[in-house]
Chains A and B, each alone.
Chain A
């Protein structure tokens, strides 16, 4: 069974902390994505990567960075967490323009 695994389902952090969200896929997909989902706003793309060590900004990259050192792993980093980054974070992967497979999501609360 294909899998996209996110390291934490729930996470609580304090303002100013550095936060790492990890995502691993076992499907050998080139493309990986980080989205955040807020009520009424749908899915908003933060960053994506189409190859190892490659990254592209999405629609809302401010306050975030990413790392893709290995094909199967895509990490989202919040350099200094703020309360407006409280959200559901979803990782996804795909081949080319084919369907996205999503992880179960990480609900991050920044206090």
Chain B
């Protein structure tokens, strides 16, 4: 079946360093969504990318959707303690209803 691989599983950074998480799908996606889950919380939608090669920015966060619509990345510049959490990608494949989820990348800020 369709799968989305997300790496790394964990990333430890010093506050102020950059952070990147990558997602790769086994098949073409119609869109990709990104969610953030704070510790003890539930996933909260960040953004959706639809077009091939699309790049969107939200303050220090940059989201990209690959030309082949099979991969995506989230880059955070100069991390802050408020960025701590797990970041998930999820995309729609063949089914209009079912999102295919990556396993998430946990961002940990080193004290």
Contacts and interface: CB of A to CB of B under 8 A. Distances in A.
B96 A103 contact: no
A31 B96 CA distance: 11
Interface residues of B, number: 23
Interface in B91-105: 92, 96-99, 101-104
A90 B103 contact: no
B63 interface: no
Contacts, number: 48
A40 B9 contact: yes
Interface string A73-105: 000000000000000001000001111111111
Given A45-B98, A97-B30, 6 more contacts: A42-B104, A43-B43, A58-B98, A90-B43, A100-B43, A102-B44
Interface of B: 6, 9, 30-31, 33, 35, 41-45, 48, 88, 90, 92, 96-99, 101-104
